[in-house]
Structures are given as C-alpha cells and as structure tokens.
Chain A
C-alpha cells in the first residue's frame, strides 16, 4: 500500500477513535459530577440525556471571537494550543488496541510515550508566557515546575512494569500480562485478574497520581487554579483555541488512562479470548478499561480540593520518588530470584 495513504488512514483512525472518546469523557464528567453534587447536569442538548452537550459546547466555542491580546507574542500565542493537542494526540501512535491494531508498534514504545507526554507542557508554558498576563505567566511556570516534579515518578512507576515484562514495547507488555500464570495452588479464576494490577500496585498508584499532576487536574490543578489565577494559562484564550486546550486536556486524560490501562490492567487483553478475536473486541476492552480509570480521575476531581505547589513538590520528592525507587528494587529482586 502507498505509504502516504496508509499514514492518512492511520491518522484518521486515531482521530476517529480518540476525539469521540474525549467527548464521551467530557459528557461523563458533566453527568457524573452532576450526580455527585445532587444536580441534574445537561439534559437539553440532543434529547433526553443531553448527550450532545459537549458537541454543543464545541460549536459554541467555535463561534466566539478568537482574541489575541495586544501585548501578546502573537505567533507563540497562536501556536501553543496546537502544541498541546499534538503532544497528547501523538501518544496514541503506539497504543495497541489489539494484537495488530496499533498505528506503529515501536520497540521503545514506553520510552516514546514518556518523551512525548511532556511535550504538551511545552505548549502550556508557551501559552503562559506569550499571553502577556501575569496570571497566565504564574500558571505556565507552575505547570513547568509540576512537570519536573512529576515526570520522574511517572518514569519510575513504568520501569517496574518494563522489568516484569522484559520489554519496552507496549504490545509485548500486554502479551506478557496475558501469558502470566499464577501459582497452581490457587483456583483458576484468579487468572482473570490483570497480574500487574496486583504485582505492580505501588506502580499503579504512583502512575495514577503522577498522571493526575501531568494532566493538571484536581487535586493538582495549580496551573489553572480557578480561584487563584482565574484560569491560569487559559485566561486569555477564547474561541477555537480554547476548544483546542479543552479538547487537549480531555484527550490527554484518555491517553494517560489508556497508558495506565495498557501497562497495569492488561490493555486490550481479555482472559480466554484468542488473538484473532482480540483484534476486533480489543478496542472495546481497552475503552472499557479507559473509562474505568477515567471514572477514578473524575471521582478524585469532584471530591478533593487543590493542593499547594510546595505540597505537590513534597509529595513528589518525599513520597512518590522513594516509593518508585523501592518498587524498582523489589521488582528487580523478585525478577532475579524467580
């Protein structure tokens, strides 16, 4: 097949899967938060359940004027939302939705993931700097500080999984999880439990915490911090560019949830299903797992308040990084012994 045609199809597929998923999660957040707060949530747009609310929001944003502040560094300001969105969408390139349903199965899949996931922070920093707004600037700098603190636990959490699976390729990691055998003495039904969820529980907790910080969601949403910095780096954005950020935020949520699902919950793998079938139902399995993790993120957001920047740093450096290092040591030890 023509290389460019193949590329186009793959890009189209990634967009066709990810953007609707992001919209579904936006809708889920609207509805779930409403139920947590004894509200109704959206119920008008699109019929009974208000399912079209995210689409209606997007359409509304598109009609708004695209404002660029007079003092802003216009070129950087305009580029920033695309950098953010690109950074998150690029994550989906290596995510396997089935044994063969993957855009590009890189040998260094995890490495690529971790490298690309920090790109979007660059966009945030660009937005904060170029807006010519002091709140935006503080927000952007907070995001940068957060990235430095949380990239490390994220990497450390993933190393445990890489040691267990013996590979950096995401597809191999999923295969390793499906091949895992618990002890014979245990009943056979335990084999349906994703093994790394139990064995790498420490890693999973660290990964989820760090990805919350990476996504700057409550309790780590200091870069936005509505009550302090109005909207942080988003303050000056409007119209389509704001939509880009908004979509990027939720696409990032889907991406991080997908990575966590692949690394710790077995990804597209479903116990007792052959590889051929997995190519078809794999995406559904993965999306289900993504939704589960996204629910945890949403749950956290509507329960907790925001931490302070220095508290975030102390959590990262005093708890997550030592715990991550200990996890690597223990994992490595057992890998060598058994």
Chain B
C-alpha cells in the first residue's frame, strides 16, 4: 500500500472536519516602561486574545547592589542606603537595620527613642498605604481618589519632615537611638534631638484628617459598584498559596492569615498598644484594598495611643563614637507597610559588616505573579499587579 501524504490523509479522514484553526499566541511585552508597572518591572506575557496563557516576570532593572555596597560602608553609613530600598516608606526600612546592630552590640535603646521610632514608623505606614489608596484606583481608571489621598499624605510627610528633615529618606535612626540635633553647637550635640514643638498637637490633627480621608475613600472607592465589579473575586490568592510563596504583610492578611509581626515579635514597644489586625476573607483584590484601608485606621489608632504613652527621657543610649561591632550574626525583621522586612547582618568584628542580606517584602510578594496571572485577562493583570502594592526598589534592592 502506498504511503499517503499525511496532509492528504488528514483531508480524507473524518478528523479533518474537526480540525480547528490554530492561532499562535501573541507575545506582549509589558514594561519595563509602562504606566502600571510601578517603575521598571517587565512582564513578558503570552496572550491569546486578551487572556494571558503564560507570564514571565523579568526583574533587575532597578538593581543597585545595596547588599554589596553595605559591605564597604560603616554601619552608620548603611542607614542612608537602606532608606532607599522601599522609598515609599523610607523610615520603616531603617528601624530593623539599626535594631540588628543594637542587638549585636547589646545596646539598650531608651524608651522615648523607641516610641519616637514607633510613631514615625506608623506614620510611614500611613503614607505608604495612602500611596496605595491613591494609585490603585488610578490603575483601575479612577483618577480622583489620587488627589484626595495624596493631599492628606502630604500633611503626614510634612510632619515626618519636621522631625527628621527628610520627606522620603529621613535617615533619622542612629545606633542606640535617634539622630542628634542638627546644627545645635557643641552643648546641644550632647543631647539628642527631641520632637519639635507642637508636634503632638499637629500629629493628632493630621491623624483625624487621615481618618476622615479614609471615610471619604470608603464613600468614593470602596462602595463604588464599578470598583467592586473590577476587584471582587479577581486575583484570588488562597491562604495556603500565599504562605507557599512567602507572601507577607497586607497581601497575606487579605488572604485570611492573621499574621502580623507587630504582634509576634517586635523590636518596638507595640506590647502596650491596643490595635486590631484587619484580615480579609476571600483574598481577592478588593480584600487587599480593604485591608490596607483598615490598616491606615489602625495605624492612626497606634499613633494616637503612642502619643499619649510616650515617656520623657534620653533619646540616645551611650554608644562609642566609632562603632566596632563584635563578631556575630543576627536576623532582625519587622512588619513594614509592604510586608516582612528583615536584615541578616554578619559581623566579623570591626567597623564594616561582613555581609548584609536584605529580605524585602515586595520581592517575595511578587514571586506569586506567574501563578496568579496565568489565565487572567490583561485588564485584570493591571488590577492584580496594583493590588499587590510593590515597589521596584524593594524588589531589586
């Protein structure tokens, strides 16, 4: 029997009737320059129509080598670097790092300095979450919440600036306490910088305003049917998947896992402060939004309580002028706005660390992208990407 040409055989057989016209998937390159990738994240997506069949995140465009840079700098210099990891909440990056050094040195930080750190960390959390509150609706197409949320954030940043001198990169923490007063002459240098006059009253007012803007956002965004249509049931992350991928922070809590480092192991005096951990039910984009909105309210509560409780006293422990950290290693982590931020510091003795490993929240939070975006639509890609609230500086370091 002669061999039929396979194409002819196909044509003759019944199977030919059901052969579908196959169209190749289109490769859509999203980023590194794209309005909704928050900087320079690149996503190489294979799309079938508008449905994503596979996705390949490419990171590293923002790599600045901070871990390597830390190996050739003194400990005091490194705080200026770690500020810039997650630049939306610069202050909260510093705290776990100096806490790690304090642990290695065995220094006890005065309580007032602890409380100042706590207040400013929570204010950094508020400002970071307000950025999310403003940018997330923008990604869904609503640009009005942006202006209102950022207006209140500006007041919070002004307060941060009044204490630290920097809006984004405070560089305010010192090993053993907080920054000494700037330009105060030799007698003033002996004392540490205290909070500026009128800070507490201004902070209370700012917190009231932030709470008010949270209510405004509830009316404008949370209750908006179209926002809910875009976010409810979109990008569902089940709790076990969230844990598998090492997610942390509001993203993890939105999936229903009640885990907050502020309650578990904290380097700041959260023990005496009463606050709730908001958790989501479904782990969808809407829950991630609502959890953050609620966290702003809780952060306001924390700040208000901390203002009531803050003791007087010194702001700086006695530490030598030239820091020589004894041999040893430690890992200190803290609950940052984006999630768990940790520093693994190894010291061989001397003025510079041997190695600093930075565990950043956004990097781990983003690792779920290929799993969660497979099979989603391109518009949902934007909704999911925005809801994870990452900062590229925090991903690449």
Contact = CB atoms under 8 A, between A and B. Distances in A.
A226 B35 CA distance: 7
B221 to A, nearest CB: 8
Given A222-B379, A225-B379, A303 B142 contact: yes
Given A37-B144, A227-B138, A302-B144, A134 B26 contact: yes
A304 B379 contact: no
Interface stretch (A67-75, A92-100, A307-315): A307-315
A179 interface: no
Interface string A74-111: 00000000000000000000000000000000000000
B46 to A, nearest CB: 12
B140 interface: yes
A306 interface: yes
Contact of A228 (B151, B224, B226, B378): B378
B229 interface: yes
Main secondary structure of the interface of B (DSSP, over half): helix
Contact of B224 (A37, A38, A305, A311): A305
Interface string B215-243: 00000100010110110000000000000
B382 interface: yes
A225 B147 contact: no
Contacts of A36: 144
Interface in A280-325: 302-311
A134 B28 contact: yes
Contact of A308 (B137, B144, B148, B379): B379
Interface in A211-264: 218-219, 221-222, 225-230
A48 interface: no
Given A134-B26, A305-B230, 16 more contacts: A33-B144, A38-B147, A38-B151, A134-B28, A218-B142, A219-B226, A221-B141, A227-B138, A227-B140, A303-B142, A303-B144, A304-B224, A305-B140, A306-B140, A308-B230, A310-B377
B309 interface: no
B379 A309 contact: yes
12 contacts: A33-B144, A37-B146, A37-B148, A138-B50, A218-B141, A218-B142, A227-B382, A305-B227, A306-B142, A306-B230, A308-B229, A309-B50
B357 interface: no
Interface range on chain B: under 10, 10 to 19, 20 to 34, or 35 or more? 20 to 34
The interface size bin for chain A is 20 to 34
Contacts of A38: 147-148, 151
Contacts of B36: 227-228
- Which residue of B36, B146, B220, B381 has the most chain A CB atoms within 10 A of its CB atom? B36
Nearest to B377: A308
Contacts, number: 79
Contacts of A307: 226, 229-230
A226 B151 CA distance: 23
Contacts of A228: 36, 378-379, 381-382
A222 to B, nearest CB: 7
A310 B143 CA distance: 22
B394 interface: no
Contacts of B220: 303
A224 B220 CA distance: 23
B248 to A, nearest CB: 26
Interface in B128-162: 137-144, 146-148, 151
Given A138-B50, A230-B35, A305 B379 contact: no
Interface of B: 26, 28-29, 34-36, 50, 137-144, 146-148, 151, 220, 224, 226-227, 229-230, 377-382
A305 B137 contact: yes
Contacts of A138: 28, 50, 378
A185 to B, nearest CB: 39
Contact of A304 (B139, B141, B151): B141
Contacts of B230: 305-308, 311
Contacts of A303: 142, 144, 220
Contacts of A218: 141-142
Contacts of B28: 134, 138
A305 B140 CA distance: 5
A305 B141 contact: yes
3 tightest Cβ-Cβ pairs between the two chains A and B: A306-B141, A37-B147, A305-B140
Given A134-B28, A227-B382, A228-B378, A305 B147 contact: no
A230 B32 CA distance: 12
Contacts of B29: 134
Contacts of B142: 218, 303-306
B382 A39 contact: no
B344 to A, nearest CB: 36
A309 B381 CA distance: 13
Contacts of B147: 37-39
Nearest to B234: A308
B146 to A, nearest CB: 8
Interface in A29-78: 33, 36-39
Contacts of B138: 227
B153 to A, nearest CB: 13
A37 B379 contact: no
B79 to A, nearest CB: 35
Contact of A311 (B34, B151, B227, B229): B229
Contacts of B229: 307-308, 311
Contacts of B144: 33, 36-37, 302-303
A305 B386 CA distance: 14
B143 A37 contact: yes
A255 B229 CA distance: 30
A304 B381 CA distance: 19
A134 B30 CA distance: 10
A178 B378 CA distance: 49
Contacts of A311: 229-230
Nearest to A222: B379
A174 B246 CA distance: 66
Contacts of A222: 379
> Which of B143, B146, B147 has the largest count of A CB atoms less than 10 A from its CB?
B143
Contacts of A226: 35, 141
B382 to A, nearest CB: 5
A307 B141 CA distance: 8
A323 to B, nearest CB: 17
A302 B381 CA distance: 23
Contacts of A308: 229-230, 377, 379-380
A162 to B, nearest CB: 31
A296 to B, nearest CB: 16
Contacts of A305: 137, 140-142, 224, 226-227, 230
